[in-house]
Amino acid sequence: MDVMKPIASKDIPLGKEWLYEVKYDGFRCVLHWEKNREIKLISKNKNDLTPQFPEIVAFCREKSESIKKLLPVTIDSELVILNNRYQSNFSSIQKRGRLKNKDSIQKAATNRPATLLAFDLLQLSGKDLSKKPFEERKKQLTSFFDKAEIRRDLWNRIGYIEAFENADELWKIIFDHKGEGMIAKRKKSSYRAGKAHQDWYKIKNWRLIHGFLTAYDSKNGYFTVQVYDEQEQYTIGKCKHGLNDDDFDTVKKLFIANGEKKGVHYSLPPAICAAIHTLDIYQGELREPEFERIAPELKPEECTKERLQLDLAMLPEIIDFANTDKLYWPDVPLTKGNFLAYIREISPYMLPFLNNRALTTIRCPDGVNEESFFQKHLPSYAPEFIKGIGKGEEKLIVCDSIETLLWFANHGALEFHVPFQHVNSNQPKEIVFDLDPPGRDEFSWAITAGLIIKQLLDDLQLRSLVKTSGNKGLQIHIPIPEGSMTYEDTGVFTQAIAYTVENQHPDLFTTERMKNKRQGRLYIDYVQHGKDKTLIAPYSTRKTTDGTVATPLYWEEVTEDLRPEMFTIENVVERVQRIGCPFQDYDTAAMDQNLDLVMNLIR
């Protein structure tokens, strides 16, 4: 079948007759799910993608028997590999699509499984729904997920794309997560092949970057775009479209009249600057670039790699970012601009662990080597968009938005610490063990202790997650449903685990809180897990000399090769986009946690 395709638009159509969905960057795909357990994944170009995605097929077949009455179904969807809930990974899904070897495909499906994101239901129980209004088809899709007992989130192998009534609300989510864009769909629209309609529109979430033009290819009409990397010219890609005919011809003639000719190429020194819309830079090329305009007010020396990093980060305009060239980590060296870009890029993964909790920061306004101070109360000069709990000078900080996070980052907050409970709760929503060796030279002791604790937790049927502290140790997290345990319960439990580990290796581990009595051993900090006490948040930077980050890990990474300095603001964003976030289903893990054996132990 031919799929219905959205039409590109610069503007979002508004009104009560529209619904809005996230646009994901993947393979458009129709799922054909038959009664005989036959599963087909067919692309918009009618290519059979079924062999490349065995994890989707396995998920469907596992469900087939229990939902026989609902089959056959046909579901329009986007096949993606998710970075976060609202952003997919373009390069990863492309690599998956090119795989042909069965073993390679299965390995990829295990290491970084794909998700089929469903957004439209075209057939249910063999009945054609394509003539039904989109609003009705969406309700039927929701009902299908509920009847099939498929959780309506985005981390199943078949996920569900929610429809929003409010375009502004969804656009804010897309901007915050750096999603690809939005699809606007008319509620009353039937399903029609191709673009012969006025019912579906796509609006891209463009990044606006700045560079200078240094070459023109007379054969294909593309201009080479560069920026300065210190004193060197650095190519970021090519661009052709977006200028009106007069502007295009003017720039083209400048190159042909004044440029150095080599074959079909005409080259000029840096002089002509431009503002360009793009979705990203991938493998040295701009993705879907379009000129926004020629920018004569810009000087080439203003178009730098540092500015490009901040342009691509899409910093919110509500904050006045200044002094971005200030060195925060002189030894590395890394600047405030590098830090702001990191915080912006990592925010979709970090904010869920700050949201609805009282925030404590360590501020280093002049970098890690200069004066620093703790801040747990909302400063009087904070803008109105930052939320606080309490009154007057004792008002606690709540970091629940990208703007709040970046405001504190802009004011030199290099560490973000949070308690184990929500702001209005007296009960924990997680248990954490902090494994603190005397120095990085003894980091291997944290690995040993961490693996012992994991085995104990496995024996208690508890799911645990692990992260580096960002300094010299490891921290083990156990997500639990809020209200399932009190701090008295968790205190009994953490003490029992800590004493058990200490007794196994008293020469390496200790529960002694006083540093001068630890005799150079690793400290198993279970006392720190208490009401209103805090721990470094996942993905927070640390006040170290090398720009390290408190980084979530997969347990299989916890080997003798692991080192805390492996994870810095220079590589953690690339890491999480390449291999996924090990804490991505933290809340789901909490809901699914079986606490029976633990509570029996405590009692």
pLDDT in tens, 476-503: 999 999 999 999 999 999 999 999 999 9
- One-letter amino acid identity for 380? S
With a threshold of 0.75, does the pTM exceed it? yes
Q: How far is CA 233 from CA 15, 269, 300, 401, in A?
A: 47, 10, 10, 36
- One-letter amino acid identity for 390? G
Q: How far apart are CA 329 and CA 342, in angstroms?
A: 13
Q: How far apart are CA 177 and CA 562, in angstroms?
A: 29
Task: State what percent of residues in the chain have pLDDT above 70.
Answer: 100
pLDDT computed for residue 306 by the predictor: 95
- If one counts every other C-beta atom within 10 angstroms of the C-beta of residue 561, the result is 8
Nearest CA among 27, 35, 189, 63 for reference residue 124? 35
User: Tokens in use for 305?
Assistant: 């790699």
pLDDT computed for residue 152 by the predictor: 87
Q: How far apart are CA 178 and CA 172, in angstroms?
A: 10
- Is residue 434 a contact partner of residue 535, using CB atoms and an 8 Å limit? yes
Contacts by residues 448-452 (CB-CB < 8 Å, ≥ 24 positions apart): 448/505, 448/508, 449/474, 449/501, 449/505, 449/508, 449/509, 449/522, 449/524, 450/474, 450/476, 450/558, 451/558, 452/501, 452/504, 452/505
- In CATH terms, 7-204 corresponds, of 3.30.479.30, 3.30.1240.10, 3.30.470.30, 1.10.645.10, to 3.30.470.30
pLDDT computed for residue 37 by the predictor: 85
Residue spans of the domains in the chain: they are 7-204, 207-313, 327-413, 430-602
pLDDT computed for residue 288 by the predictor: 93
Q: How far apart are CA 429 and CA 356, in angstroms?
A: 12
Architecture of domain 430-602: 2-Layer Sandwich (3.30)
pLDDT computed for residue 386 by the predictor: 96
Burial of 28 (0-12, 13-18, 19+ CB in 10 A): middle
Q: How far is CA 417 from CA 183, 247, 356, 465, 529, in A?
A: 37, 51, 13, 18, 13
Q: How far apart are CA 211 and CA 228, in angstroms?
A: 9
Residues of the chain with pLDDT under 70: none
Indicate which residue of 23, 204, 429, 472 is catalytic: 23
What DSSP designation does 514 have? S
**If you count them, how many residues does the chain have?**
603
pLDDT computed for residue 445 by the predictor: 97
The residues pairing with 120 across neighbouring beta strands, listed in sequence order, are: 76
The residues pairing with 28 across neighbouring beta strands, listed in sequence order, are: 78
Pairing mode, strands 181-186 and 18-23: antiparallel
- 23 catalytic, yes or no? yes
Query: Is there a cis peptide before residue 348, judged by omega within 30 degrees of 0?
Result: no
Q: How far apart are CA 317 and CA 308, in angstroms?
A: 16
Same fold, 207-313 and 430-602: no
What DSSP designation does 194 have? B
Q: How far apart are CA 134 and CA 189, in angstroms?
A: 5
At residue 128, the 3 state secondary structure works out as: strand
Question: Which fold is adopted by the domain 207-313?
Answer: OB fold (Dihydrolipoamide Acetyltransferase, E2P) (2.40.50)
pLDDT computed for residue 356 by the predictor: 96
- Exposure of 533 in the CB half-sphere (CA atoms within 13 A): 14
Q: Which residue has the tokens 């630890």?
A: 518
At residue 238, the 3 state secondary structure works out as: strand
